[in-house]
Amino acid sequence: MNHISDGFNHTQNIFQPFEAEFAFCWQLEVPKYVSDLDIYVWQRYRKPPKSQRAYVLRPALADQRLQRLIIRLDSTEQLAKYEKQRCLILAWDLSTRTSRQGSVLDELCLSILAVFHLIIGDTSKFLEGLNEQLDYLVWTFSAVSSCDYFVLMTLIVFRRSK
């Protein structure tokens, strides 16, 4: 990493107080096909797809007992799903734990697992929606192709009969 020589001691850089930073990006909304004209006029395919993001930051603290994570999500809906999932994981963890005392590392892992569960759930919904959209397109265009084929054959038979 390049630093501009500004006279500061960069081994303890106050502008980078995080020991670890992770960024996650995933798709949630499936683009819907409306019509060829809609695609031609608005050209939505030229824009990158809207994605959801999560940032997991671990502050650099001297005392290991005070280690925490900062988790930032894009929307309040994502935050609500994360909180719900974290509570479910915590309830499961407490029911399976032999001792009631958890370590700091347990808490950090549970938080990261809740983020991963959120990503997996949203990605699964995205893939299911994508599959439904592809099925819709296949059935729509195969029906149009069949109709066009039928009209073409009717015109051919009609012209031959003249």
> Is 144 part of any domain?
yes
> Is 48 part of any domain?
yes
Instruction: Give, as one character, the DSSP assignment of residue 83.
Output: H
> Is 5 part of any domain?
no
> Is 56 part of any domain?
yes
Q: Could you report the per-residue pLDDT of 57-80, keeping only the tens digit for each?
A: 888 776 666 778 889 998 899 999
Number of domains making up the chain? 1
pTM listed for this prediction:
0.67
> Is 112 part of any domain?
yes
For residue 105, the enclosing domain spans 10-161
Report how far apart, in Å, the C-alpha atoms of 20 and of each of 4, 11, 24, 26, 43 are.
22, 15, 13, 20, 39
> Is 1 part of any domain?
no
> Is 4 part of any domain?
no
Q: Could you report the per-residue pLDDT of 98-144, keeping only the tens digit for each?
A: 665 667 777 888 889 999 999 999 999 999 998 888 878 777 766 65
Range 6-40 burial, b when 16+ CB lie within 10 A, else e: eeeeeeeeeeeeeeeeeeeeebbebeeeeeeeeee
> Is 2 part of any domain?
no
